[in-house]
Amino acid sequence: MLIELSKGITLHPGSFTAVIAPEKKILSALNSNADLQRFLFLYVCGNYSRILSGISRTSNNFEVRRPFTADQLLTVIHEASHTIVFVEHDPTLFDGAERLFVPIASALRQVGREAMVILWAPASDRSFAALIRQADRIIEIVPEGPPPDRFGFASQRSCRKGGVVPRAQKTLEV
């Protein structure tokens, strides 16, 4: 089981890989691999997901867990017994929980010994940089062409204060 991000860049089982890539690139990698339907796939995202609605999920082996705090994220990681664990990074989980950077990174690395663990973010931030210190591999895919408008996790911080959700995020109603 391999996931090809780009030509010559593949993700392997038995590792914890941090990936910084555009949403379209990671969606393409997940949706174009038919083999992923055969494996137990755990998708972990926090308060908002940028890509979950774009992933084709036709398999019964696809599970979604949504922790809303860093403590819950740590619990989800410890309970993971899947072949593939995909974590969409949400920096809002770590507001006031910086003490959990090392335990969560260690848990991701531990689970990565038995599974393929992917920690994904479209851009790096302080909490992502702290988590990837224990990653086996760090892959950054930069989009071609001129740099896009400023869009990343900095806009999420202003989102929380201003009450406006950035256009690329979707809010799930209760």
Please give the C-alpha separations between residue 88 and each of 8, 15, 26, in angstroms, as whole numbers.
23, 16, 11
Q: Tell which CATH classification among 1.20.20.10, 1.20.1630.10, 3.40.50.20, 3.40.50.300 matches the domain 3-162.
A: 3.40.50.300
Distance in Å from the first CA to the final CA of the chain:
36
**Distance between CA atoms of 66 and 128, rounded to whole angstroms?**
18
- Residues of the chain with pLDDT > 70, as a percent, come to 82
Task: Show the DSSP H helices in the chain as ranges.
Answer: 23-31, 70-79, 101-111, 126-131, 153-162
- Is pLDDT above 90 for 115? yes
> Where are the chain's structural domains?
3-162
Between 10 and 104, where is the model more confident?
Answer: 104
Report pLDDT digits (tens) over 44-86. 999 889 999 898 877 788 999 999 999 999 999 999 999 999 9
**pTM over the 0.85 mark:** no
pLDDT of amino acid 123: 93
pLDDT of amino acid 155: 45
Report pLDDT digits (tens) over 4-22. 777 778 888 899 999 999 9
- Is pLDDT above 60 for 148? no
Between 144 and 170, where is the model more confident?
Answer: 144
As a whole number of angstroms, the longest Cα–Cα distance in the chain is 43
- Residues of the chain with pLDDT > 90, as a percent, come to 60
Pull the structure tokens for residue 115. 């599974």
pLDDT of amino acid 159: 47
- Is pLDDT above 50 for 23? yes
Lowest mean pLDDT among 9-13, 26-30, 39-43, 79-83: 9-13
pLDDT of amino acid 166: 54
> For residue 147, what pLDDT band results from cuts at 50, 70 and 90?
low
> For residue 167, what pLDDT band results from cuts at 50, 70 and 90?
low
